[in-house]
């Protein structure tokens, strides 16, 4: 029996923590679809197509990993692929309550789909897309938290903070 899984998220942008989770999941599952959510309830920095493209570039060396954009409910997307496992990442205890609630709701709506939780390596537990975006927007160096492709895309989004550009001055 094939073991296939969906790993959903906004991936705005994909971080080294996501990358770590996907690499380890790729050794457990036969096939993984990274499901990049359109999520109309969020205002992402990158459009869906760019988030998909970045994830494809970052994960290109993993032959059993595919990246797709989607909208709607994750369990419906998993069903459409014929997959019965959804992977969710847990960075810290603070993630658990929301993820537990989400998993139970999904189980109620789609009892045939199981949720599996994975945790990142310790050095990635504090890395989130939200923090990476904020650091990049404020001119910080995000290269240790994201793949070089992503770091370059973030740099393009905040050209006023490119190397050599004038930094904002503190109020006098």
Q: Which of 53, 91, 143, 157 is catalytic?
A: 91
| pLDDT > 70? residue 164 | no
Output DSSP code: residue 42.
S
Which three-class secondary structure state does DSSP give residue 81?
A: helix
133 as an active site residue: the answer is no
Task: Please tell me the predicted confidence (pLDDT) of residue 2.
Answer: 78
Mean pLDDT of 58-73: 97
Question: What percent of the chain lies above the pLDDT cut of 70?
Answer: 91
Q: Known catalytic residue: 42?
A: yes
Which domains, and CATH codes, for the chain? Answer: 4-126 (3.40.50.620)
Confidence tier at 161 by pLDDT (50, 70, 90): very low
Here the tokens at position 104 are: 């139970």
* Contact predicate 154/132, CB 8 Å: yes
Q: Over 50: is that where the pLDDT of 124 sits? A: yes
CB within 8 A of 80, min separation 6: which ones?
A: none
Of 3, 42, 71, 80, the active-site residue reads 42
Indicate the length of the chain as a whole number.
172
pLDDT at 160: 52
156 assigned to active site: no
How much is the pTM?
0.88
Q: List residues bridging with 70 in a β-sheet.
A: 37
Q: Say yes or no to pLDDT of 85 above 60.
A: yes
**pLDDT for 42:** 80
Question: What is the average pLDDT across 18-46?
Answer: 93
Give the pLDDT of residue 25.
97
129 noted as active-site residue: yes
- Calculate the average pLDDT of the chain: 90
pLDDT at position 43 is 84
Does residue 39 carry a pLDDT above 90? no
Whether residue 165 has pLDDT greater than 50: no
Sign of the dihedral through C-alpha 121, 60, 149, 7: negative
User: Is residue 50 scored above 70 in pLDDT?
Assistant: yes
Query: Would you state the pLDDT for residue 5?
Result: 98
* Residue 172 pLDDT level (bands cut at 50, 70, 90): low
DSSP 20-53: HHHHHHHTT-SEEEEEEE--TTS--SS-HHHHHH
């Amino acid at each position: 029996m094939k073991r296939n899984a969906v790993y959903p998220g906004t991936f705005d942008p994909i971080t080294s923590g996501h990358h770590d989770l996907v690499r380890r999941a790729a050794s457990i599952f036969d096939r993984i679809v990274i499901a990049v959510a359109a999520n109309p309830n969020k205002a992402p920095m990158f459009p869906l197509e760019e988030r998909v493209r970045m994830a494809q570039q970052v994960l290109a060396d993993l032959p059993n990993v595919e990246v797709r954009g989607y909208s709607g409910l994750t369990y419906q997307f998993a069903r459409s692929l014929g997959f019965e496992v959804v992977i969710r990442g847990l960075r810290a205890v603070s993630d658990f309550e929301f993820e537990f609630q989400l998993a139970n709701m999904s189980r109620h709506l789609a009892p045939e789909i199981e949720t599996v939780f994975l945790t990142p390596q310790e050095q990635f537990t504090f890395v989130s897309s939200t923090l990476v975006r904020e650091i990049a927007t404020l001119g910080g160096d995000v290269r240790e938290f994201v793949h070089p492709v992503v770091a370059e895309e973030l740099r393009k989004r905040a050209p006023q903070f490119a190397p050599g550009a004038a930094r904002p001055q503190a109020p006098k």
